[in-house]
Amino acid sequence: MLVASSKGIIMSDKLILENFMPYRLARLSSTVSSTIARAYDKEFGLSIPEWRVIAILGRFPGLSAVEVAEQTFLDKVAVSRAVTKLLKSGRIDREFADADRRRSILNLSEKGREVHDRVAKLALEFEKNLLDGLNESDIESFDKVMDKLLARALKP
């Protein structure tokens, strides 16, 4: 059985990777993240994991390293390297939440907050450009389908 749309999404009994929705989402997400990364790498020397850690702590201060890693949606080892680098460069601070140093919480330093605010500005401009040319009903519909797909993917 085939359910075919005009172009991309074709459901068949053979895996055609470039038409496979999870692969297409990965491609789009990665391309979007890499494109914007070129701007903040050039200006601030940040990698994708480093920027994601900064963005998450900007929005949700005081998370543990594990919680930050979960929110980045990136490889744990890569995020751990990024956290180490950001601690060394003084862009984030670590505090230990208990005496035996088993739980630490992370926050942006003043320097990190400054980087955050400047990259956030770039990021929002990038988003504006990305969505420019789409009409409002396209965006609304895309938005709705993203929510539905996320809800379905989270369903046990």
Least distance between its own copies and beta carbon 151 (Å): 10
Give the C-alpha separation, 138 to 131, whole Å.
10
Residue from 73, 90, 96, 114 touching its own copies (CB under 8 A): that is 73
Residues 100 to 139 in contact with its own copies, rule: CB under 8 A: 120-121, 123-124, 126-134, 136, 138-139
Residue 10 one-letter amino acid: I
Considering only the C-alpha atoms of the chain, give the largest distance between any 2 of them, rounded to a whole number of Å.
Answer: 61
Binding part of the chain for its own copies, among 5-13, 61-69, 84-92, 93-101 by CB under 8 A, reads 5-13
Among 36, 65, 86, 92, binds its own copies (CB under 8 A): 36
84 part of the interface to its own copies, by CB under 8 A? no
Q: Which window, 61-69, 74-82, 91-99, 107-115, contacts its own copies (CB under 8 A)? A: 74-82
What the block records as the tokens of 25 is 């989402």
DSSP E strand stretches across the chain: 3-4, 10-11, 92-96, 104-108
Q: SS in 3 state form for 22-37?
A: HHHHHHHHHHHHHHHH
